[in-house]
A and B are shown apart, each in its own frame.
Chain A
Amino acid sequence: MSQMNQPPNKCQTYLNLGSPLSAISSSPDSTKLIVAGRDIVKIVSVQNNEFKVTSNLRAGKTQSLNYTGNDCCWHPSLVESYRFLIATAATNGAVVIWNTVREGSKSVERIFTDHSRAVNKLAWHPDKLDCILTGSQDNTLRMWDIRDSANASKITFSPKSESIRDVQFNPSQSNQFAAAFDNGTIQLWDIRKPTIAVEKITSHQGLVLTIDWHPEEKNIIASGGRDRAIRVWDFSNGKSLNNVSTISSVSRIKWRPGNKWHIASCSSIVDFQIHIWDVKKPYIPLFSFTDHRDVPTGLIWKSPSSLISCSKDSHLLLNDFQDSYKPYQHIRTSGLTWNVNNEIASINDKINRTQSNESLPSLSTQFPSFFASFNVPTPPPLPPLVKVEQGIMKIYSPKYQNSEIVYNERYLFEHFASNYRFRGQSFNQLCDHNQLVSQVVNQHHISTMWSLLKLHYSNLDQIEQQKEQIEQQKQELQKLINKKSIETQKKQKQQLRHHKNIKEQQFRDIENLEKESNPKKIIKDIGDDDNDSANQEINLNKEEDEEMNSNFDDSQMGDIFDPSNDMMTAKEPPTSSLMEFNANDTGNDQFCNILSAEAVTPLVSLPTTLERQKSDNILDNLGSGVNIKKQNQPINSDNMDSLDKKNNKSTSNENKDSSINQNQQKKNHIKDKINYNNKDNISDDGDDDEEYYNDYDVNNNNRNGNNKENYINYINYNNFTHKNINENKKNDNYDEMKSNDEDSDSLKIMVPCFEFEEFSFQPIITDMLEACIEKGDVQTCVFIVLILGKYVDLNIEKHRLTTWFGSYIELLQRYKMWSLALEIMKYCDDQIISQASKRHTTLISACSTCGKSIPQNSILCEKCNKASSKCSICRLPVKGMWVWCQGCGHGGHLEHMKSWFVDKNQKSCPTGCAHICTPFKK
């Protein structure tokens, strides 16, 4: 209630009458108002935009229900003897005629009590000045003659149409009046024909609460009802002209003078605002007065732009148009939305936001009587409306320039998503692969990242292998300890020590060799040696593999030829060769720029050299890639087998070398086809991957069996180096050497080149990732983290990594790449992410015979003690993938079902239950 007493802030003037108001009516000269409410009948003067109570008609008469003001109506005539007459209607059915000339108790002229229930509405007859019409809750309308004090009720209309809510004389035909009924009809009556309605319109669902004749258009009437609609009717043909829908039941409506199709409305519940509508624009009010704190109950237009209203909140308000809330100024008429393809759908409806300000059409001339008292100037006519096409949806799609092939973002994303790899291969191979993947689609900055990554962390492979070997060795050791005595172990150790020495010797030799010749030369030499076709080479390599297995140290050879591993040889970068490369460079300036930009590391000249080589590598991989890659694949697929890792590595290195040769031979010819070949390449890889997954277990087992001897060799070696590796797990190989006192000689050779141990690449990589994120490429970052994260602490907050993975997974889901998303989830170290995949899916299986649910990981039904899911083809219990027909419930092994329905092209169920399991199959 405290709120009620606060003054409204957006009105011209207001008056708090202290009691809820239910109706107002204006004197014919519009200087005074009669205000009626449950406890109040007062006359208020309106002068100089100010309200002032001039008299209280109910003074001293508060007891009687007769004087409650359900409705009130000032006599519309300016004739002297009538202009002071006021009628009020009471909730007990009494109609009181007041004469405001007299004061106090004498002011009551007449009291009519014929109505048995509340009188809802009063209407003075426009011509017969002594007559007043009342509509009541008792289902009747009465016509009274106020001169007859004893028997005033002259005519009674009994339409048998439930309660009358509103009644109003037709301004153009004074013998006619319209009445609004609770049954949803508005009826046109003629006072000369009191038995039956002239016209009847079913206008609303439920109650009709209010009607208002159009002041100018003949036979046009507006009605408002509990069905929240304002409808405009033409009584001449009974047709609905307009339908305005408001948000709550309409209790009062009033046509706005001066604007032909504007109408004010207020509601009886919920909505405390007064809305002014253009009935031609039925959905959004032109403007709204928002000041009342309870439902408004009476509306009077003082002028076309100002409105007097009363409300249950006791306030009488005078609002001017400028106080109003103008919805058209606050409406969003543009829609904008993006989709995953970076397409924009947009709708931009033109809107005239100032339409509430529109100047008034010259209608005032048509209401001379009304406007005479207001002195309304005649405004100029409106310009004709230009019809603008509305509601046009436009969908824009991005246009990419500078590319013959259209790489849109979706294409790129999907390309990377499906081609990037983060497991199943060695670190260097993964980097190479991913670099290639980005190279194919001309994403040079990304490919540079991968090559830098490989450059910085090329030693990771060795660490990884050593780690794995340690793991195996631990396991094997465990077995050995169990089986063999300590003495035998000692013997082995001695042997190993010998072994190790040999290894170191060889290593030193290699170092010397490198120092003498620049890396490219080595590669060239070897390339010349192996100047055979790729196929042969690989066979050769396979043979070599076996040799290498027995001689671990040889694998170091391979590493030397790995260009990225040549850092230690680059003390004096071969500038001449660099020049040569630049000369050979057939364009790709962008690539160069990025490279030079990235080369702020202490390895200034070095990475450039290596990159050159690598880009050559790429080129020939691209060129000869189709064959080589295919050949490579089966070998690569064994990578998980840690024993073979080294071998493979050298193999792939060999391949690269050979590729370089091939490249040199074919360079020009190949370059034309790069893009084409690459695509093949990648799709082939995909296929091979699948195979690899399937065969992985089998291979693994076989290998283990075959290489038992090799195992032992390894273990022996590892056993020896175990200590060192443990100490230096996170350092690179050089550290390892350094810390080994026995190898102090070799140390001298290594150290002078670069002091690697003092330099960490991690901040650079982290910066690189941040820059990538900044560009919105969370994809590459996720893959780098997946690959590198397990080796290197990237010093990125865990929370942020979570958001990276989370964002990427959500993107994958948007692109509907479910299995990739799941794969990332599975292999992600982050607990929050990896658990997300487990949260939602629950599989509950039930026994097919008894229906009892079977606990997870169990095959037998606890109740029947039978295997529930038997394959209907092989009759064996199915463990693992189980497919079944939704119709007959029969099914079995995926393979069997596939062969039955696909290979044998059957339609019906294999059990012979006659169910057609594949009805739609052609």
Chain B
Amino acid sequence: MRVFHRFSTAHDDLIHDVSYDFYGKRLATCSSDQKIKVWDQNDNQKWELSAEWKAHSGSVWKLAWAHPEYGQVIASCSFDRTVCIWEESEDEKGQKKWQLKAHLVDSRDSVTDIKFAPKSFGLRLATCSSDGYIRIYEAMDIMNLSQWTIVEEFESQKGTNNCISWNPSSYDKPMIAVGSNEPYIKIWEYSETGRKWVQIDSLTAYPIGSTILSGNLNSSNLNSGMGGMSVNNVNNISGGSFGLNSGNSIGNGNIGSLNSISGNSLMSGANSSINVSSGNNSIYSNNFDSSADGGNRAIHDVCWAPNMGRSYHLIATASKDHKVRIWKLCSDKSKMELREVMRKDDHKSEVWRVEWNITGTILASSGDDGNVCLWKCNMNGEWKLFSLISGEESTEDKYDR
């Protein structure tokens, strides 16, 4: 990769998000200076500021473009606990102007992420907030964007929710992945029968290095499969003291199976004894400490890959423990299985963003080190670092494969 364009956005404070529109011809940026700026690419391929306005009375965390079928619409969320819907329209003089269409004020804490649903589900917006709630809004009349109804509201995680991502496939049930200060993502889906969002409770997560037994892996056959080894089956009710349980299983030097039952999520993993004894590949890293800010494995960002016809889903997470992870979500009738297929710490610092390309073949991640890493699956199905774009002011990349 090489730098193509480089320009200053001239925001007055830290920038929190940048987003291409559907066609990749416009960019929107948002910043702590409470402004949103929209940039258009002109005929000479130069990026020009097309609009800027004060959007919120707090830092603007995230932006989302609606599908262009619904017009030029941006949603923004902010520290001021509100979500704003902006629409570009022309006045009588033909001047384009971004207008505030709706102000969604339901959240009781900072709104940390917003995402529009796949087009086919209508003009829907999922928001996640530090008050622990996921709220889904819908514009019932797409011609009148000032009317938004809250169609769903459910508590995903006590405390803060950091990030949210829709399953981008229009042909599945509506699903969203939510990342919080807990070390795993939660996946919610809309249940037609219950007419509400339910957390997939049959979800089992297998971290990398876990021994996969043949056949269907469930708790009982895990135990039997491990033969004479003693199996630690720790049920962690609070979900808050992961480090302790993890340490416990490592201390015993045995196969650990961790079940965290907080709410109704189930996360269990099995480690081979080799991995456990080496300690590096244990399910939860040892450097877990209980700081007041929540787990050190807090998930900063989650991104659901465009499906592009695959039989499974890929979900990437960026987390505080310096790791970029890719999870493979396989569904088998009633059972869902979340398998970690990549875990990398090349950023050597907190990772803050993960983003899939349009075809879901390359994952980009960025972190506090200022670098952008690109990850790609090779012929053997292994995810590898494919390019590292240095944040330094050098024109040459460190390497480019």
Stretch in contact with the other chain, from B205-213, B221-229, B304-312:
B304-312
Question: How many Å lie between the Cα of A228 and that of B171 in the bound state?
Answer: 45
Contacts of A333 in B (CB 8 A): 14-16, 352
Among residues of A, the one whose C-beta sits closest to the C-beta of B113 is: A332
The answer, yes or no, to whether A505 is at the interface (CB within 8 Å) is no
**CB of A498 within 8 Å of the partner chain:** no
Contacts of A245 in B (CB 8 A): 34, 57-58
Counting chain A residues whose Cβ lies within 8 A of the other chain, the interface size class is 35 or more
Contact of A392 among B8, B19, B24, B310 (CB under 8 A): B8
Which residue from chain A places its CB closest to the CB of B357 in the assembled complex? Answer: A338
Question: A19-27, A394-402, A742-750: which one contacts chain B?
Answer: A394-402
B71 CB–A CB distance under 8 Å: no
Listed stretches A322-330, A360-368, A622-630; interface member:
A322-330
Query: Hey, what's the 0/1 contact readout for A771-804 against B, CB within 8 Å counting as 1?
Result: 0011110100100000000000000000110111
**Minimum CB distance partner of B169 in chain A:** A803
Residues of B within 8 A of A399 (CB): 1-2, 400
User: What's the minimum C-beta distance from B182 to chain A, rounded to whole angstroms?
Assistant: 15
- B366 lies within 8 A of chain A by Cβ: yes
Q: How far is the CA of A779 from the CA of B301 in the complex (A)?
A: 30
Give Cα A51–Cα B17 distance, bound, in whole angstroms.
44
A810 to B22, CA, bound (A): 10
The answer on a CB contact under 8 Å between A283 and B24 is no
Docked Cα-Cα span, A322 to B291, in Å, equals: 10
Contact B13 A283 (CB under 8 A): yes
> For A810, what are the chain B residues with a Cβ–Cβ distance below 8 Å?
170
The reply to whether A330 and B366 contact each other, CB–CB distance below 8 Å, is: no
> Contact at B9–A391, with CB atoms within 8 Å?
yes
The answer to the question of A343 belonging to the interface, with a C-beta cut-off of 8 Å to chain B, is yes
Interface string of B334-370 (1 = CB under 8 A from A): 0000000000000000101111111111101111101
A832 & B81 in contact (Cβ 8 Å cutoff): no
Residues from chain A with Cβ under 8 Å of B350 in the complex: 353
CA distance A775 to B377 in the complex (A): 8
* Residue-wise interface mask of B (66-107) relative to A, using a CB-CB cutoff of 8 A (1 in contact, 0 not): 000000000000011100000000000000000000000000
Whether B204 is near chain A, meaning CB under 8 Å from some CB there, is no
Q: A-side binding surface: helix, strand, loop or mixed? A: mixed
Contacts A337-B18, A346-B18, A399-B1 given; does A247 touch B81 at CB 8 Å: yes
Residue of B nearest to A9 (CB): B292
A338 vs B27: C-alpha distance in the bound complex, in angstroms? 10
In the complex, A397 Cα to B1 Cα: how many Å? 6
Q: A336-B364, A391-B11, A393-B6 in contact; A774/B19 too (CB < 8 A)?
A: no
A270 to B25, CA, bound (A): 39
Complex CA gap A283/B23 in Å reads 32
A 319-378 contacts with B by CB, 8 A: 322-323, 325-327, 329-351, 353
Residue A807 CB within 8 A of the other chain: yes
Check A338/B79 contact, CB under 8 A, given A333-B352, A393-B18, A778-B308. Answer: no
Per-position 1/0 for A245-266, Cβ under 8 A of B: 1110000000000000000000
Q: Is the CB of B29 within 8 A of A347?
A: yes
Which range contains the number of B residues in contact with the other chain? 35 or more
Q: Mark A831-872, 1 if CB is under 8 A from B, else 0.
A: 010000000000000000000000000000000000000000
- When chains A and B are docked, how far (Å) is the Cα of A414 from the Cα of B144? 35
Q: Does B114 contact A (CB under 8 A)?
A: no
Known A346-B366, A397-B1, A800-B311: A339·B20 in contact at CB below 8 Å: yes
- Cβ of B10 and Cβ of A778 under 8 Å apart? no
Interface contact A396-B9, CB-CB below 8 Å: no
Q: Specify which chain B residues have a CB less than 8 angstroms from the CB of A228 in the assembled complex.
A: 57
Which residues of A are found within 8 Å of B190, using beta-carbon distances?
A: none
A330 to B79, CA, bound (A): 12
Q: How far is the CB of B301 from chain A (nearest CB, A)?
A: 7
Q: How far is the CA of A398 from the CA of B364 in the complex (A)?
A: 13
Closest chain A residue to B1, Cβ basis = A396
A10 at the interface (CB under 8 A from B): yes
In the complex, what distance in Å separates the CA atom of A568 from the CA atom of B309? 36
B32 at the interface (CB under 8 A from A): yes
- Contact call B20/A342, Cβ cutoff below 8 A: no
The 8 A CB mask of A374-408 against B (1 = contact, 0 = none) is 00000000000000011111111111010000000
Shortest beta-carbon distance from A10 to chain B in Å: 6
- Residues 386-401 of chain B: 1 if any A CB is under 8 Å from the residue's CB, otherwise 0? 0001010000000010
CA A800 to CA B171, docked complex, whole Å: 9
Chain A residues, Cβ within 8 Å of B357: 338, 342
Partner of B24, one of A281, A343, A401, A802: A343
Distance (whole angstroms) from the CB of B280 to the closest CB of chain A: 26
Q: A394-B3, A396-B2 are in contact. Are A331 and B14 (CB under 8 A)?
A: yes
Q: Does A806 contact B (CB under 8 A)?
A: yes
B residues with CB within 8 A of A: 1-11, 13-20, 22-25, 27, 29, 31-34, 39, 47, 57-59, 61, 79-81, 162, 169-172, 292-293, 300-301, 306-311, 350, 352-362, 364-368, 370-372, 377, 389, 391, 400
Question: A: which residues have CB within 8 A of B?
Answer: 10, 228, 245-247, 270, 281-284, 322-323, 325-327, 329-351, 353, 389-399, 401, 409, 770, 773-776, 778, 781, 799-800, 802-804, 806-808, 810-811, 814, 816, 832
Provide a sorted-by-A list of 10 A–B residue pairs whose CB atoms are within 8 angstroms. A282-B13, A322-B292, A334-B366, A335-B17, A341-B24, A347-B15, A348-B366, A390-B13, A399-B400, A811-B358
Add 10 more A-B contacts to A338-B355, A814-B358 (CB < 8 A). Answer: A283-B13, A284-B13, A334-B352, A334-B366, A391-B8, A394-B3, A770-B311, A800-B311, A814-B23, A816-B23
